[in-house]
Amino acid sequence: MMRNSLILFSLLVLGACSSTVSSVAPPVALQRIDAKLVINKLWHRQVGRGASDKYLKLNPVITDKIGYVVDHTGYFIAWDLVSGKKLWSRFFDVPASSAPGMDDDRLYFGTGKGEVFSISPKDGKLLWRSTVSSEVLSPPVSNGKYVVVRTVDGRLHTLDKQTGKVRWVHDRNMPVLSLRGTSTPIIEGDIVISGADNGKLTALVLESGSVLWETAIAVPQGRSEIERLVDIDAQPLVRDGVIYTVTYQGRLAAVKIDTGRILWVRDMSSYNGMEMDAHRIYLTDADGVIWALDRFNGATLWKQDGLLRRVVSRPALQGRYLVVGDFNGYLHWLKRNDGNLVGRTRLGAETLSDMNSGNEDDDREFSKLRNILATPVIQDDITIAVNRAGLLSAFRIKDK
């Protein structure tokens, strides 16, 4: 059966300029904020061509002060976190479509042609490449023994880490229409948990692929295929034996990891995802509103709607703050306790002071290549972000 992917970004932002969707409201203009942070640019560098005109979330990954990132042409680069200096690069000449995943001694990425690559983090040497059933959009995940890969046709593949040989494949019935994206699987002990485009969350035995349980988080409703979209595109989170997951046009739910029993739910729509600390869930909804919710019952603690319809990324935690990127190349810092906006800068801006006033002329000069699709990556007081054009920037923050 032919399945179609809906690129939601086009409907929310680019579609605002189209006569066919002229009713779509534009992104809100940035307002002046009371900046509480000093944001200093450490360095920036070009890392290949980025995602270019493709809707790909090519997040960097960082370990031991070394960062890794791949562009959509298969150009893979390792760089020093503090200086931005290139350490090595490899060109694989493949349509890379996922951000890197990694474990202690391997890096992995997927392609639009249904391949998974395993490479050495020391020099980028190819260790193996394996074929899976279709395009890979979410990073492969590994527990050091197995590599788990979700493909856009709904299948979950588990590969042997050493050889890349497929051990088992789990197939699911998927809707005809879905969003452009897939939820990254998570490995928790001896089980793997995966969200699907049909709004269901599934737990499987990692060793065998047998299903432990499957729970419907949201049920499709409405008359049109678009109204019935309930994709789980956000990566689930696990804490204290509870899985937290959210669907598009559906619900946020807390689910017992051992049984699949739902503990609580609330109406919510998100495709970018969420972060969590000991007490709160921080979530970017489909309209760009950022929420803080009580982890134990889903109650609203605060919400920030000052970035409405700006196609805001998943929040990243940085000390007492959250960081998000938006469609026009801005990074925004919010206080975790109340959601107030306290810092702002822009990738590629000539002046990178506080950027505490949204320059209206600049903010209306939309360029697709400025999009920050990937969630910012945090290492202590350093924030790393990359835009569609492959501009990778590092910023250090401190309180005023």
The C-alpha atoms of residue 335 and residue 384 are separated, in whole angstroms, by 18
Q: Taking residues 16-45, what's their average pLDDT?
A: 79
For the segment 136-165, what is each residue's pLDDT rounded down to a tens digit? 999 999 999 999 999 999 999 999 999 999
Q: Taking residues 331-338, what's their average pLDDT?
A: 97
Spatial CA neighbour of 70 closest among 140, 154, 9: 140
Residue 8 — pLDDT band, cuts 50, 70, 90? Answer: low
pLDDT surpasses 50 at 11: no
What does the mean pLDDT of the chain come to?
A: 90
* Locus of tokens 């940035």: 30
Taking the CA atoms of residue 247, residue 250, residue 253 and residue 259 in that order, the dihedral angle to the nearest 10 degrees is -80
Share of the chain above pLDDT 90, in %: 82
198 contacts 206 by C-beta, under 8 angstroms: no
**Residue 14, SS3?**
helix
More confident residue, 198 or 364: 198
pLDDT surpasses 70 at 269: yes
For the segment 196-220, what is each residue's pLDDT rounded down to a tens digit? 999 999 999 999 999 999 999 999 8
pLDDT surpasses 60 at 335: yes
* CATH 2.60.120.10 is the classification of domain 56-179: no
pLDDT at site 223: 84
Which tokens go with 343? 């810092």
pLDDT surpasses 90 at 313: yes
Which residues fall within 8 angstroms of residue 350, CB to CB, at 6 or more apart? none
326 contacts 307 by C-beta, under 8 angstroms: yes
Which tokens go with 193? 């948990």
pLDDT surpasses 60 at 352: no
Which residues fall within 8 angstroms of residue 288, CB to CB, at 6 or more apart? 27, 305, 307, 308, 309, 310, 311, 312, 326
pLDDT at site 363: 57
pLDDT at site 361: 45
357 HSE (CA, 13 A, CB side): 3
Residue 400 — pLDDT band, cuts 50, 70, 90? Answer: confident
For the segment 69-115, what is each residue's pLDDT rounded down to a tens digit? 999 999 999 999 999 999 999 999 999 999 999 999 999 999 999 99
120 contacts 128 by C-beta, under 8 angstroms: no
pLDDT surpasses 80 at 360: no
Q: For the chain, what are the domain ranges? A: 56-179
More confident residue, 218 or 18: 218
Give buried/exposed letters for 39-78 (b at 16+ CB in 10 A, else e): beeeebeebbbbbeebbbbbbbbbeeeebbbbbbbbbbbb
166 contacts 130 by C-beta, under 8 angstroms: yes
DSSP string, 381-392: TEEEEE-TT-EE
pLDDT surpasses 70 at 351: no
Prediction pTM value: 0.91
pLDDT surpasses 80 at 356: no
The C-alpha atoms of residue 380 and residue 397 are separated, in whole angstroms, by 10
Spatial CA neighbour of 86 closest among 139, 39, 42, 44: 44
The C-alpha atoms of residue 256 and residue 241 are separated, in whole angstroms, by 6
198 contacts 217 by C-beta, under 8 angstroms: no
